[in-house]
Amino acid sequence: MRTLSDPAAADVRPAATKTSLSVLASLRRPATFARRGSGAEKTRYLVRARLVSAALGSGGELVLVVGAGEHRVAAHFPAAACTGRASRELRSAMQNARTAVERACGAVRQGRSVRLRGAVTITGVGFFSRSRAEGNGFGLAPVLRFSTGACRR
């Protein structure tokens, strides 16, 4: 689901909905995680936030934590090797977004978290994580577009 490779990926709305992290942090978690939920997990969101940190997971996934006030959301940029079942257009968008992060913020080493600063605009698909590491467990996975005026470590 986090790479838009699942059968319900075609149900994700193509237009992005502008919103805030406080709205995303208030979304209700689904009762089950067996398949892509309705509503929030079938929506592309466009949010403006500030960078908090970045980390590279063992599977190669780049995870940015972004914040606004007290709210935090994880934004997931999958490794190219994990996006093979997504459409060509979506694979390209995911890769372009990840490349934009790496160009703006530099490379992140696996297993290390890096503190970041700067304002960003991110477009990504809603996703509820089974873990509740951040509030209601809502994040953006995958991110399809990323832009920043400046990214500082």
51: left (phi over 0), alpha (psi -120 to 50) or beta: beta
pLDDT digits (tens, 9 = 90+) for 99-143: 999 999 999 998 889 999 999 999 999 998 877 556 788 999 999
Distance, in Å, from the CA atom of 62 to the CA atom of 78, rounded to the nearest integer, reads 6
pLDDT digits (tens, 9 = 90+) for 34-54: 665 668 889 999 999 999 999
Domains of the chain plus CATH, in order, are 7-146 (2.40.50.140)
Distance, in Å, from the CA atom of 127 to the CA atom of 74, rounded to the nearest integer, reads 10
In the DSSP assignment, the letter for residue 84 is T
**Cβ neighbour number for residue 137 with a 10 Å cutoff:** 17
